[in-house]
Amino acid sequence: MRKALVVVVLLALAGAAAWYYRESQMASADFALYGNVEFDQADLAFHASRRVAEILVDEGASVHAGQVLARQDTGNIEPQIAQAEATIAYNEAVVAELRNGSRPEEIAQARANLVASETDAANLKQQYDRVRQLVSTSTASQQSLDEAKAASEIAAAKVIVSRRTLDLVLAGPREEKISQAEAQLDGAKAQLAVLKEQLADMELKSPADGVIRSKLMEPGEIATPSRAVLSLAMTGDKRVRAYVSEKELGLIREGMAAQVAIDSAPDKTFVGRVGFISPVAEFTPKTVQTEELRSSLVYEVRVHVEDPHDQLRLGMPATVTFPAAADSKPAEGAGS
């Protein structure tokens, strides 16, 4: 008896589950949500405070990612870039000269100076020796001897200087001096990079594919980072924001396939998928289109829509339906 009772209970539960599934599928065939098409939107501003030179797009224009939309006045930064480039060229020449070391002509000249100094020192040494002999025979004065000795010593010192000069020319510049010149070159390159980045920032580029919603400034006005120049509606991710009542909340789930229809193309449907269901209830917004009382609590639903032919426009009223045989994976593209 106990086993028979268990079997009866299981059969009853299975029947109830089948009935619920059938009823939910039938309900979903007639279930619809009403909302509006939405895009991500962005207000585009320049990085620096400068005068707007030109705006290259009009309201309603379709733009693509990376497209230049507006430019600032670059009159005072271009001469700075030219000056930085000249400084880099000079520093590169200095570094190249130091790395190459002394030229053969400089080495030859240093060696010739050493030979000349050694020759002068030898001659003056001989003169000093002769005057010293003459002083010993009282033929020359002590003053003459002192003068000859001083000249000989000066010539010997010049030989030492010339020899050291040749050693320095042969050794080339010190590593510290080369490092100093290279550091100055790196600093000039960094300054040029900063100026070029500032120049690039004077072009306002579109961050994504989209449509220009509005022009917020005109050429001649001063643009700042806190003051937008253009408003962009990005068309990469289109979705319908709708609201579902609490009693119908169980009929949909995230990832569920959907179909979207718009009034301007009644013979077409767009493939969609439920991307978000709010976990928190709210009062029905005034802008929503439903057949329920506006005082009822609803949950926000976002349905992402595929629009390969770019037919959906921002703010369009849209109807979202959920076919009874809805699969978790929607078909590719939009169908008729």
Rounded CA separation 76/72 (Å)? 11
pTM surpassing 0.85? Answer: no
Q: In this structure, which topology does domain 29-39+236-322 adopt according to CATH?
A: Elongation Factor Tu (Ef-tu); domain 3 (2.40.30)
pLDDT at 84: 93
pLDDT at 170: 64
DSSP alpha helices (H): ranges in the chain?
2-30, 78-100, 104-136, 142-171, 175-201
pLDDT at 25: 45
Q: In this structure, which topology does domain 43-72+202-230 adopt according to CATH?
A: OB fold (Dihydrolipoamide Acetyltransferase, E2P) (2.40.50)
CA–CA–CA angle 137, 138, 140 (5° rounding)? 110
End-to-end CA distance of the chain: 58
Q: Encoding tokens for residue 38?
A: 């939405």
**pLDDT tens, position by position, for the chain (336 residues)?**
555 554 444 555 555 555 444 444 444 445 788 899 988 889 999 998 999 999 999 998 889 999 999 999 988 898 999 999 999 999 998 888 777 766 777 777 878 887 888 888 888 888 878 878 877 777 777 887 778 788 888 888 888 888 887 766 666 667 788 888 889 999 999 999 999 999 999 999 999 988 898 999 999 999 999 999 999 988 888 899 998 888 888 888 888 999 999 888 878 889 999 999 888 877 766 555 555 544 468 889 999 999 888 888 888 899 998 875 444 444 344 443
pLDDT at 288: 52
pLDDT at 328: 42
Domain ranges across the chain: 29-39+236-322, 43-72+202-230, 82-194
CB 209 within 8 A of CB 235: yes
Radius of gyration of the chain (CA): 45
pLDDT at 102: 66
Rounded CA separation 308/306 (Å)? 6
Single-letter amino acid, residue 281: A
